[in-house]
Structure 1
Amino acid sequence: MAHVGLDLKQDLAELIAIPSISPAPLGPLHDAFERVKALFAGAGVQDLRALELPDTAPVLVGEIPPPPGAPTVLLYSHYDVVPAGDEALWTSPPFEPVERDGAIYGRGSADSKANIVAHAGALQAWDGRPPVGIKLVIEGQEEVGGGALTTYPPTAPELFAADAMLIGDMGSVRPGVPTLTVALRGMAMVTVEVRTLDGAKHSGQFGGAAPDALLAVLRALASLHDEHGDVAVEGLRRDEWNGESYSDDEFRALAEVRDGMPLIGTGGLGSRVWSGPAITVTGIDVPSVENALNAVSPYARATINLRVHPEQDAVQAQAALVHHLRAVRPFGIELEVSAGATGNGFAAGTGGPAYAAARAAMVKAWGIEPVSAAGGGSIPLVNALAAAAPHAEILLVGATDGYANIHAPDERVLIDELERAVGFEAAFFGELAERARG
């Protein structure tokens, strides 16, 4: 196992200390870009430069030419982070990295600055001369959708051509369990709204007959799930998940489910959060309780987030949800339903030499066979990279773990998981090169 020495710890600490929040003023993002550039220059990457795209934080690209006949590996991660949120909920300030209890704490420590350090550490383990070619893509806008980068790779496929890609934005399902994330759900947004009256009307005088816009929207939203909590929209794909998953107790702890509250839905947990649809009401315009009036609501609106099976087209899934909501007609009221943004999921092909190399390298780094898991969220750039290099094997890996508190207070990366991630990547380069020679 590679050792994360003081230099790599210091590199990670210096990155965490830069509040590279996106979207935000570009100053801290540029500072993070320059620090990452210096890190990879020291790791032997050549021709480092900024890929400048419209309205997008600079993307760091560079390469190490492959030895004759060797494959090329693209290394991806991102240097931007989400805001810290309520800093009073943090044990230590979010942008002041602290090492305690075998972990390094700070915003971005796990998502995804540790993965940047893992990439650099693996190259350093080969003294900047790995047995494979390297292409580097480190972006600074992943947390807000990626900007123009999400559509750029297919327009410049030569920049992204590779035999394998290590997408450093994931990690182990739990500490000590090497994990290959082989699928990501897609996403689609839908808005539903209705205006039934020209203005609010006294509930005593008009309630009971006047069409209540809020009741109509609530009834439509309630139709999206059955009595068990399973999604009840026809046309949305769901399959059982056969890979690794969390236990119910683990999931309850991670989701901070209150005592006595049930989990919703039926079937395997993996199919509910990874290989099946999920519908969440992410916003609703209603009168607040504090400012409530005894009045029939004339207008209501809700925003719905749909998570889509990794292999179902997100636009198709969105159309199924739109059709369902338009057909509900609560109390005979026609709802206005509009389609928003979509993003397809991802399902990896896992039978090629890069996956074989990754499994062998994970055994070397962790000492046990890896498991396969999925992600309920999305990484915007993955499908664009797949389109630019359709024959490349794409591996979603990283230094984090399921308990890392990403996007939450006290985000942290375990030092031994980071060590293993560095060791895995270094071993992966050797394993992949050996298979290419064989």
Structure 2
Amino acid sequence: MTVSQHPVHPTDPRTVSELAEAVHGGLPSTIADLSSLVRIPSVSWDAFDPVHVAESAEAVARLVRETGLFDQVTVSRAPIGSSGAMGQPAVLARREARDGKKTVLLYAHHDVQPQGDDAHWDTPPFEPTLRGDRLYGRGASDDKAGVMTHIAALRAVRDVIGDDLGVGVSLFIEGEEEFGSRSFADFLEQHRTELAADVIVVADSDNWSTTVPAITVALRGNVTFRLTVRTLAHASHSGMLGGVVPDAMMAMVRLLATLHDDEGGVAVAGLRSREAEHPDQSEETLREESGLLEGVRTIGRGPLLSRVWSQPSITVTGIDAPSVANASNTLSPEVSVRISARIAPGQPAAEAFEALRAHLLTDPPFGAHVSIDDVDTGDPFLVDTTGPAIADVTVAMSEGWGESPVQTGIGGSIPFIADLVKTFPEAEILVTGVEDPDTRAHSPNESQHLGVLQKAILSEAILLARLDAAGR
């Protein structure tokens, strides 16, 4: 990967020491505030009560106001295109730059994934629980720890630099990232002036380990949609017609099987991969981190991290069909599944969707009726690693962690980054985060490693101090 050619210098040691002391001293309050946010079940999906997302937004806004750094702090919503619906509430704050300093936009999100089946959690999902050096709970890491990284870093900078702070700061804490950021583009247009920045820090990614930080420089895009297969006008007796009339489940299973080859690799013409170098990862590490059961083989081909960072993937994430408990001896007339495809960096999501659509609608099994709706897309992203902000954050992370950061890709998607690039094409984008291989974001028993949280806060505080000191 290309390395920034801009000259770098260490941060003033006294500043680093004072920031480290401030971050350490504020850590109990940071953990307490994070725990309070985790107790709010701010799931942004349609099927969940939006009151909790609004409560979460107000709680974040209160913490932001208490920093005393911002000229204005508001909770705002934007429309979702021309649908007439409104997006979930986001927190927006702005402190204008002084003396010709740069402005940095700090992004995170306060909404969370649904908790899933409570029985799969070792502790209540919305009751933060400290076990060893990890805080467990839905959103404890993704991304309420990202929210608190920004707030705690700003607190430390305020304590050390105080009223002399000249760097401008915009803060954008979104409320619907886990539901596709559907009002994001409209929000950017609505608040373009308040969000304008030279450097954008997206605190929503992961680290190489609990001791080695990472800067994410490649993200896969995403295409998600509902796929429905129909074969009958109504349910029919499986004994009377089974063996001659195809049921929807049979057709769906056969159709889904065409998406992968015998090795589990994606078998959809038109979905592309990206050629790139990847660090080595052992299969033993992958098995440990993923929980892959004994005897179960990996899928795909090529280096393991290439399959996750630079190749497409297709997953069935949900299915609407009769449950086992309610199964009757009938042929199902209709079955729907949710498809989640990850798109390799370099391929537009719209192009990938067309490839998937053509694959699924062309010659379906037994002539079944196939339809696709509820489509969401997000483009992949490659970070420009040649700018001065990459150099600054590399130094800041090295000083905050005591280890140099690794430049990595991630298999997940942050689709709104493409909207940020479109709206602010001159801004440098830095993708950081507080997760680690054991975080289990989106899964039961999600947790935040508190040592990682402390180092992430210190690194961001050092970055802000470096941007503030530039040109002095």
TM-score > 0.5, shorter chain as reference: yes
Q: Would you say 1:163 and 2:198 are equivalent positions?
A: yes
Secondary structure of residue in 2 paired with 1:305: strand
Per the alignment, residue 36 of structure 1 pairs with: 60
Secondary structure of residue in 2 paired with 1:169: strand
Q: What is the rounded CA distance, in whole Å, between the counterparts of 1:21 and 1:226 in structure 2?
A: 36
Counterpart residue type for residue 134 of structure 2? A
Per the alignment, residue 40 of structure 2 pairs with: 18
1:14-56 CA-to-partner distances (Å, cap 9, x unmatched) read: 2223333324434433333233223222322221112233433
Secondary structure of residue in 1 paired with 2:142: helix
Q: Would you say 1:6 and 2:2 are equivalent positions?
A: no
Shift of 1:224: 1.4
Is the alpha carbon distance of 1:241 and 1:30 closer, same or farther for their aligned partners in structure 2, counting shifts above 3 Å?
same
Alignment match of 1:57 (pick from 88, 91, 94): 88
* Count of residue pairs brought into register by the alignment: 436
Secondary structure of residue in 1 paired with 2:148: helix
Answer yes or no: is the 8 Å Cα contact 2:136–2:448 preserved in 1: yes
1:329-357 CA-to-partner distances (Å, cap 9, x unmatched) read: 435x2642425222222221111111111
Q: What is the rounded CA distance, in whole Å, between the counterparts of 1:316 and 1:386 in structure 2?
A: 19
> Which is worse superposed, 164-173 or 243-252?
243-252
Matches of residues 196-211 of structure 1 in structure 2 within 5 Å? 196-199=231-234, 209-211=244-246
Counterpart residue type for residue 106 of structure 1? G
Counterpart residue type for residue 31 of structure 2? K
1:300-344 CA-to-partner distances (Å, cap 9, x unmatched) read: 44442221113211111011111122334435x264242522222
Q: What is the rounded CA distance, in whole Å, between the counterparts of 2:316 and 2:116 in structure 1?
A: 21
Gaps of 5+ in 1: none
Counterpart residue type for residue 417 of structure 1? V
Is the alpha carbon distance of 1:86 and 1:198 closer, same or farther for their aligned partners in structure 2, counting shifts above 3 Å?
closer
> Which is worse superposed, 69-78 or 293-302?
293-302
Is the alpha carbon distance of 1:196 and 1:57 closer, same or farther for their aligned partners in structure 2, counting shifts above 3 Å?
closer
Per the alignment, residue 308 of structure 2 pairs with: 273
> Which is worse superposed, 342-351 or 158-167?
342-351
Is the alpha carbon distance of 1:216 and 1:389 closer, same or farther for their aligned partners in structure 2, counting shifts above 3 Å?
same
Per the alignment, residue 338 of structure 1 pairs with: 372
Is the alpha carbon distance of 1:125 and 1:257 closer, same or farther for their aligned partners in structure 2, counting shifts above 3 Å?
same
Q: What is the rounded CA distance, in whole Å, between the counterparts of 2:456 and 2:440 in structure 1?
A: 18
Q: What is the rounded CA distance, in whole Å, between the counterparts of 1:56 and 1:101 in structure 2?
A: 38
Per the alignment, residue 16 of structure 2 pairs with: none
Counterpart residue type for residue 445 of structure 2? D
Alignment match of 1:186 (pick from 205, 221, 233): 221
Q: Would you say 1:117 and 2:151 are equivalent positions?
A: no
Q: What is the rounded CA distance, in whole Å, between the counterparts of 1:157 and 1:413 in structure 2?
A: 32
Alignment match of 2:424 (pick from 384, 389, 395): 389
Counterpart residue type for residue 338 of structure 1? I
Q: What is the rounded CA distance, in whole Å, between the counterparts of 2:336 and 2:307 in structure 1?
A: 26
Alignment match of 2:400 (pick from 365, 373, 385): 365
Q: What is the rounded CA distance, in whole Å, between the counterparts of 1:262 and 1:282 in structure 2?
A: 20
Is the alpha carbon distance of 1:116 and 1:194 closer, same or farther for their aligned partners in structure 2, counting shifts above 3 Å?
closer
Is the alpha carbon distance of 1:69 and 1:61 closer, same or farther for their aligned partners in structure 2, counting shifts above 3 Å?
same
Answer yes or no: is the 8 Å Cα contact 2:214–2:408 preserved in 1: yes
1:281-312 CA-to-partner distances (Å, cap 9, x unmatched) read: 23445565666666665544444222111321
Secondary structure of residue in 2 paired with 1:238: coil
Q: What is the rounded CA distance, in whole Å, between the counterparts of 1:419 and 1:63 in structure 2?
A: 24
Q: What is the rounded CA distance, in whole Å, between the counterparts of 2:260 and 2:409 in structure 1?
A: 23
Per the alignment, residue 73 of structure 1 pairs with: 104
> Which is worse superposed, 385-394 or 208-217?
208-217
Is the alpha carbon distance of 1:358 and 1:218 closer, same or farther for their aligned partners in structure 2, counting shifts above 3 Å?
same
Q: What is the rounded CA distance, in whole Å, between the counterparts of 1:98 and 1:203 in structure 2?
A: 49
1:215-246 CA-to-partner distances (Å, cap 9, x unmatched) read: 33322221211111111111111124524475
Counterpart residue type for residue 57 of structure 2? F
> Which is worse superposed, 195-204 or 308-317?
195-204
Counterpart residue type for residue 373 of structure 1? T
Alignment match of 2:455 (pick from 399, 420, 436): 420
> Which is worse superposed, 404-413 or 353-362?
404-413
> Which is worse superposed, 228-237 or 61-70?
61-70
Per the alignment, residue 45 of structure 1 pairs with: 70
Alignment match of 1:102 (pick from 133, 136, 143): 133
Answer yes or no: is the 8 Å Cα contact 2:206–2:432 preserved in 1: yes
Answer yes or no: is the 8 Å Cα contact 1:220–1:325 preserved in 2: yes
> Which is worse superposed, 340-349 or 12-21?
12-21
> Which is worse superposed, 294-303 or 108-117?
294-303
Secondary structure of residue in 1 paired with 2:114: coil
Is the alpha carbon distance of 1:281 and 1:411 closer, same or farther for their aligned partners in structure 2, counting shifts above 3 Å?
closer
Q: What is the rounded CA distance, in whole Å, between the counterparts of 1:17 and 1:195 in structure 2?
A: 42
Is the alpha carbon distance of 1:286 and 1:39 closer, same or farther for their aligned partners in structure 2, counting shifts above 3 Å?
closer
Secondary structure of residue in 1 paired with 2:178: helix
Per the alignment, residue 143 of structure 1 pairs with: 178
